[in-house]
Amino acid sequence: MSVSTAAAAQSVCAPLPVLGRDVTVPLVTGGEVTYAALDYAASAPALQRVWDDVAAYAPYYGSVHRGAGYLSQLSTDLFENARRTVAEFLDCRADDQVVFTRSTTDSLNLLAAALPADCQVFVFETEHHASLLPWQDARVSYLDAPRTPQQAVQTLERALADRDPHGPALVCVTGASNVTGELWPVRELAAAAHAHGARIVLDAAQLAPHHPVSVQDLDVDWVAFSGHKLYAPFGSGVLAGRADWLRAAEPYLAGGGASRKVTRRADGGVDVEWHESAARHEAGSPNVIGAYAVASACKALTEAGFDTLVARERHLIDTVRAGLAEVPEVRVLSLFGDAAPRVGVISFVVDGWNSSHFAAALSAEYGIGVRDGLFCAHPLVRTLLGSDPQAQGECGAPEAAPGEKSLNAIRVSFGAGTPDEHVERFVKAVKELVRHGAKWQYRTEEGRCVPVV
C-alpha cells in the first residue's frame, strides 16, 4: 500500500473527536464499559472543535448589535460572521437571508407564520412532526407515503397539477428520513414544485450532518436544520433562504431587535417600523453561543471533507446492515428498498421482542444508547409497521410491557464521531440478545422499560 493510499484509508477510519467519547457507564451485570452513543439522529454529541471554540470565546461574551463596549462589538462581529459562515456552508444565493432560530421545529414554524394568505402547503405523511405539523393553519394537503423516489416525484406532480394555479404554494420535504435514513430526491422534487409555480423548503435536520447541502444545486427556496444534530448542541437552529416572504410577514416574535423604530401615536398607541433583515425574526437577545457553535460545526465538517465523512459513514452503514441481515428475526424498516442511498440512521423491529425491552437491554447490559418508539414520525412508522393508523402509540414512550406486542421500533444512528467499535459492539449485542435473551429482568415504569433493581 502506498503512503497516500494508507493515509486515505486512515482518514476514512478515524472519527472526528467528540465530547463523551471516553465516558464510561455502569452495567447491570457488573462493571463498566465505554458508552456507545448510537442516537445521533436525536442529538449528536458536540464536536471537540465546537466545544473548544465556544470555550475560547466565552470570556469575551457580550451583548450584540447595540453595545458600544469592546466585548459587545466583538460579539456582534462574531454573531454576524457566524451568519455568513452558515450561508457559505449551505451555498446560499447572494440575496438569501440566514435567520437563527432555536431548532428545525422553530425554523419551520417561523416559515409557517410567514406564509402568504391562502397559501397551499403540500407535505408527505412521511415527515418528522417538525415538518409535518406546523402547517395546520394553512390549506395543507398530506400526501401518501411513496415506495420509490420516482413515485414521490410523481405523487407531488399530480397533487400540484390539481391545485389552484393562481395562489401561492409551498412544498415541504425532508432530505433524509429520521426513521429509515433514506435520501429523498430533493432536486427532482424542487424541479416539480417550481414547474407548477410552487416553492419548496428542505428539512435538512438529518441531511446536513451527513452530506453537503447546497441551496443552489438542489434549487430549494429554504433550508432548515438544527445545531444539536450538527454536533453543536447549544440550542440554535437555522432557517435560510428567500427573503421576500420573510420580509412581508409580521415578525415571528415582537420585541427589541426586531423593531427598527417605535413611536407613540396621538391616540395613545404605538407605530412600529420593523427591520427587513433577518433581525426582523430574531427579537430579543440572540443565542450568540448557539450561533457561533453552529458556525464552528459548519467549518469543522467542511474542513474534514464530506467525501471522507460520507465514505467512512458508508462503511459503518454497511457494517450494521450486514450484521442485522445475519439475524432472521430482525426486520429493517425501509420505504425505498435495500439499494436506496441513506445516511447513518437505521430502524428495525425484532420478532418476539418489545422494542422498548430490546433497547433497554442494549443500554443496561451492553452500554449502548439507541432510541425506541415512533421517533416523532408517527404516520411513517405506522405505515412501515403495517399497523392501524388509529392505533395508540407515544413518541419515544411505548406503553407495552416486556414481551408484549408494541407499536414502536428501534433506531440506531451514528455519524462523524462514531468509532467502529461502537457499531461492532451493537451488532454483536443484537445477535446475543436474539440468540440467548436478556440476562436481566425488566419492568415497565412510567411508560419505559427499565431493569429491575
CB atoms within 10 A of CB 321: 15
Query: φ, ψ for residue 106 (rounded to 5)?
Result: -65, -40
The answer to whether 164 and 323 have CB atoms below 8 angstroms apart is no
Copy the grid coordinates of residue 52. Answer: 473548544
**Start-end of H helices in 172-258:** 186-195, 215-218, 244-248
Which 3-state string (H, E, C) describes the chain? CCHHHHHHHHHHHCCCCECCCCCEEECCCCCEEECEECECCCCCCCEHHHHHHHHHHHHHCCCCCCCCCHHHHHHHHHHHHHHHHHHHHCCCCCCCEEEEECCHHHHHHHHHHCCCCCCEEEEECCCCHHHHCCCCCCEEEEECCCCCHHHHHHHHHHHHHCCCCCCCEEEEEECECCCCCEECCHHHHHHHHHHCCCEEEEECCCCCCCCCCCHHHHCCCEEEEEHHHCCCCCCCEEEEECCHHHHHCCCCCCCCCCEEEEEECCCCCEEEEECCCHHHHCCCCCCHHHHHHHHHHHHHHHHHCHHHHHHHHHHHHHHHHHHHHCCCCEEECCCCCCCCCECCEEEEEECCCCHHHHHHHHHHHHCEECEEECCCCHHHHHHHHCCCCCCCCCCCCCCCCCCCCCCCEEEEECCCCCCHHHHHHHHHHHHHHHHHCCCCCEEEECCEEEECC
- What residues are labeled active site? 376
**Start-end of H helices in 328-377:** 355-366
Which residue, among 352, 342, 336, has the nearest Cα to 411 in the 3D structure? 342
